[in-house]
Homo-oligomer: A and B are copies of this chain.
Amino acid sequence: MTKSRLEPQTGTAFELKRGQTLRVIDLEGEQVADLTAFARSDPSEWLSSGRSIDYANTIYLTKGHILYSNRSRPMFTILEDDVGRHDFLLTPCSRETFEIIYKNTDPHPSCFENLWRNLAEFEIAPDAISTTLNIFMNVEVASDGTLKILPPRSQAGDALTLRAEQDLIVGLTACSAALSNNGSFKPIGYEITDPA
């Protein structure tokens, strides 16, 4: 098993082989981690929130659910989930997110930039990044459709464990949007384990 740590407001990209598990850990609590993935064999196949939500028939994917690609092929299975509340509706925060939502035009780290800069190593273009699985992000949908972004329900040590169902390129961040993380920026841990 390899153990790694993402410092606050950073990201990474790495390969995950079919059968390996990825455990994403909220080390200190109330910290979101954005996840995306591409097929190793052909990165024009990508993690699809729309397919995954449609087939699971819920916006809150948890233990037992499959995360599908745009080609409707399984990319991950969720094996364990300590929290049960993750967002799969919203895109990674970007420079424009801060401008449009926060009215903040100052330079600011973002999940989008932390993803594309790291995924560039695998020749994945920024335009290829779609809606991410925002692990630990707590978004509620009111009956009129309005979204409420609440503090993550995750406490220190809580984790989400995913098994890769095909060889993947994975992007992962420790999220940089204050509102998503109850106002502070913390690290994210992750562990990769080979099949038993």
Contacts and interface: CB of A to CB of B under 8 A. Distances in A.
A45 interface: yes
Interface residues of A, number: 38
Interface string A77-116: 0000000000001110010110011000000000000000
A72 interface: yes
Interface stretch (A6-14, A46-54, A155-163, A187-195): A46-54
A146 interface: yes
B54 A145 contact: no
Interface stretch (A16-24, A25-33, A56-64, A168-176): A56-64
Contact of A146 (B57, B70, B90, B131): B57
Given A141-B141, A147-B53, A127 B44 contact: yes
A125 interface: yes
Nearest to A127: B44
A34 to B, nearest CB: 11
Query: For the complex, would chain A's binding face be called helix, strand, loop or mixed by DSSP majority?
Result: loop
A121 interface: no
Contact of A100 (B55, B125, B145): B55
Contacts of A146: 57-58
Interface string A107-135: 00000000000000000010101111000
Contact of A125 (B44, B131, B140): B44
A144 B60 contact: yes
B145 A59 contact: yes
Interface of A: 44-46, 48-51, 53-55, 57-60, 70-72, 89-91, 94, 96-97, 100-101, 125, 127, 129-132, 140-141, 143-147
Given A45-B127, A59-B89, 7 more contacts: A49-B50, A50-B89, A53-B89, A54-B90, A60-B144, A70-B129, A70-B130
10 closest Cβ pairs, A-B complex:
A60-B145, A72-B96, A50-B91, A50-B131, A44-B127, A58-B145, A59-B145, A141-B141, A54-B90, A58-B146
